[in-house]
Amino acid sequence: MAQSFCRKVDLFIVTATTHTGFHVPPPDTAADTMKTDPFPLDVSSEQQPLLRHAETEAELRACFDVMKQLRPALKDAEALLAAVAVQGPQGYRLLAAWREGRPVALAGYRFLDNLIHGKFVYVDDLIACESSRGEGLGERLLAYLRDLGRAGGCERLVLDTALSNSLAQRFYFRSGLLARGLHFSMDLQ
C-alpha cells in the first residue's frame, strides 16, 4: 500500500478545560481567527499550500480522495463524514494543506490526556497525496501540531504507524519522533 504524508493546518485557539482536556472554539470569521490565533495562518502560494482545517461538509468531502490513500477501507466521502461525525465529539480535527481550493495533504489529530503521556497531541492520520509528496508538507503539519501542543501544555506528540511502513518510520525519525514502544491490538469482531 502506498503511503502519503499530507497535513492540513488551520487556525484555532486551544484552551484548557476540565475533564475533556481541551476545548477548541471555532472562529466566527477569518478576521477573528487572525486576531486570536496564536499561530498565524500560512500564506498560500503556488509553491506553498494554505494550511487550514476542513470544517464544513463540503470541505470534508473534498478531503476524501487524499484520505482514501491512507485509509483504503473508506468507501466514499459519506463514510469519511460519518467517521468525523463520531470522532469530532472526541476532539478529532482535520487539518489540510489546500492548493487551488483542493486538499493535497491531511492531518487528523486530537488532544488527549492519559497516565502514560499526560496531556498530548495524538496524530490519527498524516497523509500527502502522491503528487505532493516530497514537498515538505508532512514536516509543516507536524511542526504546526508540535507548536500547537506546546502552546496547549502538552507533554508529547504521539502517533502510530505500521511496523511494515518503513518509509513513514524514516520520515518520523527525521522529524524528531522516537520509537518508544510497540502498539498491540486484538480484533474483537
Q: The domain spanning residue 158 has which CATH number?
A: 3.40.630.30
- Into how many domains does the chain fold? 1
Q: 62 lies in which domain range? A: 38-174
Asked if the structure places residue 182 within a domain, the reply is: no
Asked if the structure places residue 148 within a domain, the reply is: yes
Residue corresponding to grid cell 480535527: 93
Asked if the structure places residue 133 within a domain, the reply is: yes
Burial class (CB in 10 A: 0-12, 13-18, 19+), 35: exposed
d(CA 148, CA 71): 25
Q: What is the pLDDT of residues 113-170, one digit of tens each?
A: 999 999 999 999 999 999 999 999 999 999 999 999 999 999 999 999 999 999 999 9
Q: What is the pLDDT of residues 9-60, one digit of tens each?
A: 322 222 222 223 333 333 333 333 333 344 545 445 556 899 999 999 999 9
Expressed in percent and rounded to 5, the helix, strand and coil fractions of the chain are: 30, 25, 45
Asked if the structure places residue 166 within a domain, the reply is: yes
73 or 37: whose pLDDT is higher?
73
d(CA 50, CA 8): 8
Asked if the structure places residue 188 within a domain, the reply is: no
**What is the reported pLDDT for 37?**
41
Asked if the structure places residue 147 within a domain, the reply is: yes
Asked if the structure places residue 80 within a domain, the reply is: yes
In one letter, which amino acid is 161? T
**What is the reported pLDDT for 7?**
32
**What is the reported pLDDT for 23?**
36
Residue corresponding to grid cell 503521556: 117
Asked if the structure places residue 64 within a domain, the reply is: yes
d(CA 62, CA 177): 29
Choose the most confident range, by mean pLDDT, from 37-41, 86-90, 183-187. 86-90
Mean pLDDT of the chain: 81
Whether 102 contacts 64, CB under 8 Å = no
**What is the reported pLDDT for 183?**
86
Q: Which range has the worst mean pLDDT, 62-71, 82-91, 160-169? A: 160-169
